[in-house]
Structure 1
Amino acid sequence: MDIAIIVVYLVAMVVVGLWAARRASSTEDYRVAGRRLGPLFYTGTMSAVVLGGASTVGGIGLGYTYGISGMWLVMAIATGLLVLSLVFAGRITRLKIYTVSLVAVGGWSGMSDRLDATFFAPDAMGFQSIIAMFVIYGFGMLIGQDIWQRVFTARSAGVARWGGTSAAVHVGLYGVAGAVIGMAAAAVLPTLENSDDAFAIMAQQHVPAGLGGVVLAAGVAAMMSTASGALIASATVARVDVVPLFKTLVTGQQNSRPSVRGDRLYLLTFGVVVTVFSVLVPDVVTALTIAYDLLVGGLLVAILGGLLWRRGNSLGAAASMAAGSVAVVVGMLAFGVMANAPIYIGLGVSAVVYVVVSLSTRPTDPAVLGAWDRRLAGQSGDSVGEHA
């Protein structure tokens, strides 16, 4: 029964996808939903792209290991999304660019009887680890291309601001619920070899037949929504920013005319590559940590610097991104992938390089700054390009 429900869900997703494909008549429709989503759809799509395998399987796995303290990964994501929505969403939307079960254990008292007291301590994960999660995942929400691309779908700054806030509240509650489910799993399944299995086993063994299939299908939906958002974001960056840059440098030719078919081919290519990586790194929290360490350590300083510091320039941004990314990799090799040090090393190196290179090279052309200011003010008469 459970498997049948999942198969029905997947078939339904294919049917909906084929129907939706007919409605995407332009690259703007395909990449950012035509920039026309209202509050309800925007809140749903933002929640969908944020809540994925790491929030569901990884969050429950952390709850299985650390108890209620396992909520902090998802709470960090919710906090970053809240800051993005209230502080930066208005600016981002104006840019117009493309380029983020207790029943089985007898309730709470039943868990109290079966679990060690540390499972109920919010700081059981360790204060340093909690702070690192907010640095990695909270800041990651501020600069992730997949998150920004969802912000671009809002039809107005108000929708982006308050829809994102609603999504952040939803995500925070989801994080607490995931940690509690993980605690329940630790009480009834104390000998799991892999904590990431807690979600699937609880759905199969401790939820009524049929309803368990709905829960598993919901988990699949969460993973697919996040994966699809991240893939569209990656494919858009490659097609809009990276490939045209290299094409111009090598051949001197400008980018070819954008097309939905081209975007889909990029998406398919990235999907195959990501599938290979997902097989090589099966632990979802480890995979997310690697990705967000590189994202935040390499891009945070350059992106926020571009938004907040007028003396920063493109050379400083490029140098800081390269230096920060290399520093994160070196930190991972020296201290381990899951250590806290790599992200701090990457951020420190990136900040120093950004400031030094920006101050030692020519400032940004006043005309470009003027166009940038007009775009931030929502005036579309001048353009500074269709990519960030």
Structure 2
Amino acid sequence: MVVAIGTGVILLGIFLTKKISQFKVLTISELLEKRYSKETRLVSAIVATIYTLMLTVVQMIGIGSLLNVWLGWNMALCIIIGGGIVFLYTTMGGMWSVTMTDIVQFVIMTIGVFFLLLPMSLSDAGGWTALNTELPSGFFDIGHIGGERIFQYFILFTLGLMVGQDIWQRLFTAKTPKVSKIGTVAAGIYAYAYAIALAIIGMSAFVLLPNIEDTQNVFAEVAMISLPPGVLGLVLASVAAAIMSTASGSIIACSTLISNDIVKRFFKPDISDRGFVRISRFTTVGIGVFSIICAIWIQDILVALDVAYAVLSGALFFPVIFGLFSKKVHARAAFYSIILSAAVILAGLAILGITATEPIIYGSAVSFVTLLVLSFFTSNKEKDQKEINVS
């Protein structure tokens, strides 16, 4: 899954950075309005908001799980405390606070995972020899979870990361397109290394904690038994850093979509800068409170993650890609593509279950076909798209 995420970030950097830099925008939805229409901006903002909100919920569950293991407190209380800290500094400091804390958190998580927990947990488990002896053979088979699940990960996360507002907003803040490209490719490569490190830690945990009940708590549990107190604090801080980094970014992304693409664009177009900041902060607080409530209700990371990326990758990927690389796709096609694909995905998840792959494939197919049919097989009178040079 993390490899699929890294792949999405790398492809974004290599193929989309230059195109994105040509648009002076804050959000994906704002870009879609420039390319298509204000109606397309509205529906895409709603879809992207659902995604970023669910991504925030994922992080709230993650930090709650960490505190639950670490402190032994009630899960709901841990979510409230951990989530409250994240959205407090995010509300007060905005994107600048996210950037600054990202830098600190990156250093902490790198030291904690690669230089502390990885070698110590592997050593406690008996090294590679013990892993080869005690683990089932499937643990060394890269395709053990099945081709369908692997395919789902790449459909969900690779395509989703390429059109995710939480990732794009970092591109928007880069000084030059070259910086954006280097940063995204480097981040993707780092994700590959992170995926391997976490997999080895998980394999070691299987030896050390064969009877663990909640697999969401594996990382924190293995840290508790493998590390001395001082080092343990740093490693748990590294896990919290990784979660908080993503959570703060997704909160800002969700707030920006609502305040910039919905409130400012459709309800208060003449709002002052100070008023906009005030609305953004109120929105951020509302998102934080709502995501904490949802996290307490769901309490399952993969459930929330699957829903988030299913809607995003299935509904927005093709309209964004066609919008960047083709001038022939028009506004009506993009508008109906997003609405129909999102409806198909949500209905499919409700009927087949939120872990099903089919709804994502069906939704993506509906999106692609709708774009083609309404853009390339309708009369010229119906082609009302905004012609801009995206080459």
Whether the aligned pair in 2 keeps the contact of 1:93 and 1:154 (CA below 8 Å) is no
Tell whether 2:207 aligns with 1:190.
Answer: no
Query: What's the counterpart of residue 369 of structure 1?
Result: 387
Q: Work out which of the residue numbers 13, 23, 31 in structure 2 matches 1:95.
A: 23
In 2, the alpha carbon distance for the partners of 1:298 and 1:150 equals: 22
**1:164 matched to which residue of 2?**
184
**Who is 2:49 aligned against?**
none
Q: Which moved more, 1:311-320 or 1:340-349?
A: 311-320
Going from structure 1 to structure 2, the CA distance change for 1:302 and 1:255 (only over 3 Å counts) comes to farther
- Give the structure-1-normalised TM-score: 0.72
Counterpart contact for 1:94–1:157, Cα < 8 Å: no
299, 302, 324: which one aligns with 1:307 = 324
Please state if 1:233 is matched with 2:250. no
Displacement after TM superposition at 1:138 (Å): 0.3
Query: 1: CA distance between counterparts of 2:332 and 2:286?
Result: 30
1:320 to 328, 337, 343: 337
2: CA distance, partners of 1:319 / 1:257: 33
Answer yes or no: is 1:280 the counterpart of 2:297: yes
Match of 2:366 in 1: 349
Task: Report the CA distance between 1:309 and its aligned residue.
Answer: 2.3
2:186 is equivalent to residue 149 of structure 1: no
- Please name the residue that 1:267 is paired with: 284
Cα deviation, 1:243-279, whole Å, max 9, x if unaligned, reads 24442xxxxx634223333322211111111111212
**Equivalent residue, structure 2, for 1:30:** none
- Distance (whole Å) between structure 1 residues aligned to residue 315 and residue 297 of structure 2: 23
Which runs of 5 or more structure 1 residues have no equivalent in the other structure? 1-72, 248-252, 378-388
- Root mean square deviation of aligned Cα: 1.7
Work out whether 1:84 is the aligned partner of 2:12.
Answer: yes
Find the counterpart in structure 2 of residue 216 from structure 1.
Answer: 236
Q: Confirm or deny: 8 A CA contact 2:3 2:192 kept in the other structure.
A: yes
From 219, 222, 225, give the equivalent of 1:202.
222
In the comparison of the two structures, how many residue pairs are matched?
Answer: 294
Superposed CA offset, 1:133-175 (max 9, x none): 1111000111001110011111001111112111111111001
Q: Partners of 2:297 and 2:370 in 1: how far apart?
A: 33
CA distance in 1, matches of 2:345, 2:270: 32
- The letter of the residue matching 1:270 is I
In 2, Cα distance between the equivalents of 1:162 and 1:284?
Answer: 30
CA contact (8 A) 2:4 2:157 kept: yes
For 1:208 and 1:104, how far apart are their aligned partners in 2? 12
Aligned equivalents of 2:210 and 2:350: distance in 1? 33
Residue 351 of structure 2 aligns with which residue? Answer: 334
Give secondary structure in 1 for the equivalent of 2:229.
coil
1:242 maps to: 262
Give matches, 1:47-196, under 5 Å: 73-99=1-27, 101-196=121-216
Q: Percent identity?
A: 32
Shift of 1:96: 2.1
TM-score of the two chains, using structure 2 as the length reference:
0.72
* Paired residues of 1:136 and 1:296 also in contact (CA < 8 A): yes
2:332/2:384 contact within 8 Å kept: no
Name the aligned partner's letter for residue 140 of structure 2. F
Once the 2 structures are TM-superposed, how far is the Cα of residue 81 of structure 1 from its aligned partner?
0.5
CA apart distance, 1:239: 1.1
Aligned-partner residue type, residue 26 of structure 2: Y
